[in-house]
Amino acid sequence: MAKVLLVEARFYDHLNDMLLAGARAAVERAGHKHETLTVPGALEVPGAIALAAETGEYDAFVALGVVIRGETYHFEIVANESARGIMALTMDGIAIGNGILTTEDEAQAILRADPAQLDKGGGAAEAALAMLDLRRRFA
């Protein structure tokens, strides 16, 4: 049984509730344990995962959050840099599923976050578990 840390950037409560529901259900369906850690925003997710990974307490991580395009360049910075940070950690061998949504508007985010629709939170959890399986296979 693995222990999975769900790291959420809780900016949009109603959207994150859906992402978390999907991720929790996927981890539980696979027979694993999970905990949730909340950080201020998507840029803090990779740092929190890196700190938690150093403890050795967790086997896999799920990054969750929502970044909706606004009127400024900030969207690109947050979307790109959070993804870059997560990818860097993945390349270091940390099993992570990236469920940080980057959308044009709230309607797109709802479609993707809702477990009854595209369930990207659940998909991110499944990706983290798949990466954990690969890490164990090649260890």
Cβ atoms < 10 Å from Cβ of 110: 18
34 is catalytic: no
- CATH architecture observed for domain 8-122: 3-Layer(aba) Sandwich (3.40)
Four-CA torsion 93, 84, 23, 56, nearest 10 degrees: 30
Binding residues for (2S)-2-hydroxy-3-oxobutyl phosphate: 71-72, 112
Please report, in tens digits, the pLDDT of each residue of the chain (139 residues total). Answer: 999 999 999 989 999 999 999 999 999 999 999 999 999 999 999 999 999 999 999 999 999 999 999 888 899 999 999 999 999 999 999 999 999 999 999 999 999 999 999 999 999 999 999 999 999 999 8
Binding residues for 5-amino-6-(D-ribitylamino)uracil: 11, 42-44, 66-68, 98
pTM of model > 0.75: yes
Question: 14, 32, 34, 74: which one is catalytic?
Answer: 74
Domain ranges of the chain: 8-122
